[in-house]
Structure 1
């Protein structure tokens, strides 16, 4: 297409791993249709078509060979101007491409390309009024089950088919292939409640109760229900049966008699709430904290709510959400891991049955696209994980970041390597919204910002109701070993307390921050150890699956019966993980229902939710897990938390090890004794004099903060300085060393002693590539930080242009913590 003086050009973002935007000329017949934020069909490379996002429109371009836009896919923008500006900020701040952000942001439903695989839905199409092209695509799918969009081009003998495919998806005729993978193997949950006839008539209810009074089990079950569900709401069938100490046939009999009604839902979905709670009742302390938050917002857009575990922060959140929605504005409620907070979603749905939408990786692709559209149309409340911060809000009034300290808010891989908490603060600023950071254990950055009066600060230091903080006891492992008061990895004190709590029909959490059976398998004769061929890391023993696994690249090998090097039967397992702990507990405590909760036993959202719901229902008595145990759990029957080998958390080679350790141990402690009872926490450690352990026992965050911030100031670590991490990877070690020396030399010439490294990282070989890392420590000077980021871009681009280093992988991580 030739250019004219009136030509317009669109800079578009393509869904590929490429830097920058690309210019396309807008044909005259599309000039009135193309707008920033819309998807357009473009050809990129040799004959491949993509749905690209229009970033901006101009009447000039520096590009020489310009291709035309082939079609416009949207009637109105799917991205707002504010969101495009937010993308620009993320790209500049986190040194990532707009394409990276596009792929992280848009649901697959919107990212169509020649390679996209499509399948036919269950809709019968034969009697529908469809075009010839639509019939041809559907008939092809009848024959081949799945085709790519490129296949559709060949079938129809047309170059531009993405608009047609998009239209057929909107009609529900087609789906993207990945949808089917997400719909398989979803377990179900049975819910029961009082039958609708009885909910509306006390007289009829009394008559039915009289009819079943001869059956002790049925009477006990219905009375238990009425005591637990005074509002006649839904309850999991298993939970009620367990609490009533009867079997499921008793509930089935009451269903047949129309005393209960039953529904069956996907395991992670919840019944619709008919009776909503319109009034949020706050305690005097909560009301005071809420007023202080609103007062702080008069001078600060961001407020840190520092509330101890069990203080009732959620009630304050709910009250503020109600006020924001009533004012006509949207609310974003961010959670670190949505799969672990199903209880919270269930609580929120009682207050916001129609307003609440969940957004996270466990939501199906079609639903993600629907939520995207709802957000564009001012849907009032979105609850989700970190990716929710990338949704297209139109009128955001409030963002709540719950457990703001949690490391899960930071995305480490792939790019964009953003922190959702920090991005949310900028997003709130763009929308002139307020933001509330809530936690029992603030990150040092947030508490430091509050201390510097950059954020508002509100303290909630009393637990809600009659609950009190748990009693924490330290057990020295060396002393227990010396006096033979240890069995396996459990001291007698911990084991005796576990048995005592089980006798009281209580539940227990046991924490070990290492999964698998044993982290090392070694030969005592020749010192051979099982190492990953692709990574610089030991292979972990997984006894249940009889495999050695690499926790980085995922490679699996069978566990050898004798040493592969000296052929002797002298192999031994060193260290222990959650699998070993589960085995020991089953050996020491018979006839007890024990379950693991780690990435091996609960990798996906469905399996995680299933384990937590089984624990909630009382089907699991002891839950053994990793740090996943500390996130968003609220179980009324947990009376004891046991922590094994706490030293490992505190001596990890990371400047944040003690901060993470304090947060983790405090959060774990908060799981115990949540409903009036005094909970117990037993921590086993070698160094019981460690200051962090003392501060955890005393529940003294302020003492921890003062000591830790002193060390950060002394040695120059965040939040005192800004940190940028650069990692270089290459399959050839000599090439990598040359490149990293050259890269660091270029940086050091401009930044001097601010550069640390290059050096081997903790894991120096990853998936077959060797790695070197370097850090940049920068004073909090915006001009210096901006110049450094520009310098990093320039050096990275130039080094990748060298033939010797073009296969080098450069990873830049801004705020790598």
Structure 2
């Protein structure tokens, strides 16, 4: 009797591959275990067992497997079912889903490079003879290819040895080894509570009469407190009083002053201690009761709560409900930047049960998180993560929270699977029969449409926590300001006035400009030439800090030009502006205040986000300039003013979602203002102040925007009335891209008639020397999605069979954002 297994390989192959196993192996193996298998002439891959059966393959002879890599399944049955759904729905292969779902360390391949993680000698570990040989070899040279490990051990099957070393955390596989980040703790001092009254203060000064240096520190402390409400840093106090750390230490020893660290105390300091922040307002209680009743009917729930209405506290209470039942909770966020603030809040309630999972984590950290969730141990009951966290091996998932569900960053662009984490989470919740809540102050049109048409339950929360008023929104017409010469750089007189007022009150300011760099276009005033990227169809962006012209698509860069490259004229100007230019202008306008910038250029490192957000929270930065990273649900206590530098470049974008997106972005960034007692202010600078979207933002009119946009979507056949599939063809040969896209559009048009748009060049038609062309397929509601995809698969098979189109890559994107 022969036994066989079907294996999912981490390759873009449409089918699973069948391998032969012996009877004992078949009895030992379970679905979800990893096996090392030969593939092709000489390669070895790690695959996942998807099925065990006795049917030999028809077309080829099944090869035997190389070895079994796991004692227990690493992938759950729920995951295998979920992967299959993602592959079918998003028209990709299970192998591509496998690559996205598992941390790379689980997918050993014959091309991997092995590196030593620890510098200590091999005698410190309990190692087998073979493991000892590998560690010893790695100490002589920094890295080895797996083929070289074969030679060291003089045998072919080395993957189990390496697996064991990876699990013992001794070696890593082709990856950067990150340093562990130590959060920066800032030392502050405050007066001991027993000296807070006036009489006690005088008594304290009398006691220090004979210790003039200590008395000097206390007097300096009082004068710093009188000047500012900010907490007093040890560094500032010593500088002001001209004293040494030993004098301060004696005051601390006597108990006159107390020291504390703001990093550890951060949340309690901002008025958010665990007990206090779970006191609910009546509106929150009402919303929570509604959500619980919808959960009992197992409905998907959409929470439409305005900015700062206390949605996070509701999620925390719902997570508590789930943990009490012994189940797991998943909290999805669109941006890594957001996890920084939330981790602290959730750890206040759930301690070490909270785990974090996102792409800035190193491979080994991701493996640890994966194993904690798989084992269902105490760590890992609550997982906070960006979109990839939906692939973790949950077995008792009770709740999924999708925060800021309208965000486009939930959609994966490259590589496949091009899934949307929000939509996939709804399906995942259905597999587990668990509850799911989607939350946003500005829900996506599709989700709101589903809620209005009874597919989802809708809960509204339209009061800010503590009845704080929504910020006052003022629109500044910069066309008029330019005419009257009331602009200083890119700042109108109104905006400068408000920034000065906010800084005078010792409050913070956020300025939003959705473009990084210093200036997007460099132009010659003599001949009009502007430097272009040689690999892409875009102008080079000027970055001031390193004096470079850089392409944001492919990374090409050259030094800043002193004269025009075309005519040699030195008369060059910059057009447009990015975050870097605003930061430079602010430094000259407000030299006494600290400005910070938050965009892709400043948050490159693993902890780039934390450092900037912490500095802003600890009031080390007075004015923060940023791109859309700043708009995502961050909670800053001291921000009273938000300025949107130019609303027009959001609106004038060639995309059917541009208006919805601009509304969401502007309203979200406005929501960062005035989140505590005092009402915040928002200034929107625009050349077109009477634009409908800007007017709707100023009155917080979500339903008006929803009705207008829905009507347009209906007229022009876009979601939520029609489903979309976008085909992007790309190749280095311009005419081949054209011919292939014409052929594909014609074949699709023969069947789907007028529901095919294109082929069209996208706004940027060449990236990294590849030419792009798009075709859009619109699918009406009554048309079967499954049958449509079957037809598309057939057309794509015919397309791939044409020899001349072999070099043209087709990217299929289902439900593009």
User: Could you state the TM-score of these two structures normalised by the residue count of structure 2?
Assistant: 0.91
Cα displacement string for residues 371-404 of structure 1 (whole angstroms, at most 9, x for unaligned residues) = 1111112231111111101111101110001111
Q: Secondary structure at the match of 2:789?
A: helix
Contact map agreement 2:187 2:234 (CA 8 A) in 1? no
CA distance in 1, matches of 2:521, 2:576: 7
Deviation at 1:668, TM superposition (A): 0.7
Match of 2:36 in 1: 41
**Residues 1:57 and 2:55 are matched in the alignment:** no
Match of 1:363 in 2: 361
Deviation at 1:15, TM superposition (A): 2.2
CA distance in 2, matches of 1:175, 1:363: 14
Moved more, 455-464 or 572-581: 572-581
Contact map agreement 1:638 1:673 (CA 8 A) in 2? yes
Contact map agreement 1:276 1:353 (CA 8 A) in 2? no
Deviation at 1:541, TM superposition (A): 1.0
Match of 2:398 in 1: 397
Match of 2:811 in 1: 811
Deviation at 1:638, TM superposition (A): 0.6
Contact map agreement 2:329 2:381 (CA 8 A) in 1? yes
**Residues 1:78 and 2:79 are matched in the alignment:** no
Residues 79/253 of structure 1: CA separation in 2 closer, same or farther (3 Å cut): farther
Contact map agreement 2:335 2:629 (CA 8 A) in 1? no
Which of 218, 237, 248 is the matching residue for 1:246?
237
Q: Secondary structure at the match of 2:122?
A: coil
Which of 1, 9, 12 is the matching residue for 1:14?
9
**Residues 1:422 and 2:404 are matched in the alignment:** no
Match of 1:481 in 2: 482
CA distance in 2, matches of 1:313, 1:282: 11
Q: Secondary structure at the match of 2:613?
A: helix
Deviation at 1:17, TM superposition (A): 3.9
| Map 1:709-728 → 2, pairs under 5 A | 709-728=710-729
Residues 18/264 of structure 1: CA separation in 2 closer, same or farther (3 Å cut): farther
Match of 2:116 in 1: 120
Which ranges in structure 1 are unaligned for 5 or more consecutive residues? 1-5, 200-205, 227-237
Deviation at 1:746, TM superposition (A): 0.8
Contact map agreement 1:192 1:263 (CA 8 A) in 2? yes
| Map 1:496-645 → 2, pairs under 5 A | 496-645=497-646
CA distance in 2, matches of 1:716, 1:731: 33
CA distance in 1, matches of 2:416, 2:307: 33
Cα displacement string for residues 739-758 of structure 1 (whole angstroms, at most 9, x for unaligned residues) = 11111111011111110000
CA distance in 2, matches of 1:578, 1:329: 44
Match of 1:697 in 2: 698
* Paired residues, number: 787
CA distance in 2, matches of 1:747, 1:481: 51
Residues 242/683 of structure 1: CA separation in 2 closer, same or farther (3 Å cut): farther
**Residues 1:372 and 2:359 are matched in the alignment:** no
Q: Secondary structure at the match of 1:12?
A: strand
CA distance in 1, matches of 2:124, 2:710: 71
Match of 2:147 in 1: 150
Match of 2:92 in 1: 96
Deviation at 1:221, TM superposition (A): 11
Residues 503/542 of structure 1: CA separation in 2 closer, same or farther (3 Å cut): same
Q: Secondary structure at the match of 1:526?
A: coil
Residues 263/99 of structure 1: CA separation in 2 closer, same or farther (3 Å cut): farther
Deviation at 1:242, TM superposition (A): 4.7
Q: Secondary structure at the match of 1:62?
A: coil
CA distance in 2, matches of 1:288, 1:689: 37
Q: Secondary structure at the match of 1:190?
A: coil
Moved more, 60-69 or 527-536: 60-69
Moved more, 501-510 or 217-226: 217-226
**Residues 1:138 and 2:135 are matched in the alignment:** yes
Moved more, 57-66 or 674-683: 57-66
Cα displacement string for residues 613-656 of structure 1 (whole angstroms, at most 9, x for unaligned residues) = 11111111111111111013211111101111101111111101
Residues 111/803 of structure 1: CA separation in 2 closer, same or farther (3 Å cut): same
Match of 1:202 in 2: none
Match of 1:660 in 2: 661
Deviation at 1:246, TM superposition (A): 3.1
**Residues 1:773 and 2:793 are matched in the alignment:** no
Deviation at 1:792, TM superposition (A): 2.2
Cα displacement string for residues 289-337 of structure 1 (whole angstroms, at most 9, x for unaligned residues) = 0001111223352100011001011111111110110011110011111
CA distance in 1, matches of 2:206, 2:798: 82
Contact map agreement 2:298 2:434 (CA 8 A) in 1? no
User: Could you state the TM-score of these two structures normalised by the residue count of structure 1?
Assistant: 0.91
CA distance in 1, matches of 2:207, 2:160: 65
Contact map agreement 1:308 1:440 (CA 8 A) in 2? yes
Q: Secondary structure at the match of 1:591?
A: coil
Contact map agreement 1:10 1:25 (CA 8 A) in 2? yes
Contact map agreement 1:800 1:807 (CA 8 A) in 2? no
Cα displacement string for residues 762-812 of structure 1 (whole angstroms, at most 9, x for unaligned residues) = 1111111111101011112362x2122122222223322322111111111
Which ranges in structure 2 are unaligned for 5 or more consecutive residues? 194-199, 209-213
Contact map agreement 1:24 1:66 (CA 8 A) in 2? yes
Match of 1:3 in 2: none
Deviation at 1:220, TM superposition (A): 9.1
CA distance in 2, matches of 1:130, 1:150: 21
Cα displacement string for residues 575-632 of structure 1 (whole angstroms, at most 9, x for unaligned residues) = 1111111111122222221121111122344112211111111111111111111013
Contact map agreement 1:241 1:247 (CA 8 A) in 2? no
Residues 425/557 of structure 1: CA separation in 2 closer, same or farther (3 Å cut): same
CA distance in 1, matches of 2:630, 2:553: 22
Cα displacement string for residues 183-205 of structure 1 (whole angstroms, at most 9, x for unaligned residues) = 27x4641266999xx99xxxxxx
CA RMSD of the aligned region, Å? Answer: 3.1
| Map 1:215-254 → 2, pairs under 5 A | 215=214, 240-242=231-233, 246=237
CA distance in 2, matches of 1:668, 1:161: 53
Residues 400/607 of structure 1: CA separation in 2 closer, same or farther (3 Å cut): same
Contact map agreement 1:221 1:244 (CA 8 A) in 2? no
Deviation at 1:281, TM superposition (A): 2.2
CA distance in 1, matches of 2:276, 2:750: 63
Match of 1:229 in 2: none
Q: Secondary structure at the match of 1:301?
A: coil
Match of 2:409 in 1: 408
Residues 581/278 of structure 1: CA separation in 2 closer, same or farther (3 Å cut): closer
Which of 323, 326, 334 is the matching residue for 2:324?
326
CA distance in 2, matches of 1:10, 1:216: 80
Contact map agreement 1:94 1:417 (CA 8 A) in 2? yes
Q: Secondary structure at the match of 2:352?
A: coil
**Residues 1:164 and 2:161 are matched in the alignment:** yes
Residues 65/779 of structure 1: CA separation in 2 closer, same or farther (3 Å cut): same
Contact map agreement 2:331 2:401 (CA 8 A) in 1? yes
Residues 675/247 of structure 1: CA separation in 2 closer, same or farther (3 Å cut): farther
Contact map agreement 1:12 1:52 (CA 8 A) in 2? yes
**Residues 1:351 and 2:323 are matched in the alignment:** no
CA distance in 2, matches of 1:795, 1:251: 76
CA distance in 1, matches of 2:402, 2:247: 45
**Residues 1:787 and 2:799 are matched in the alignment:** no
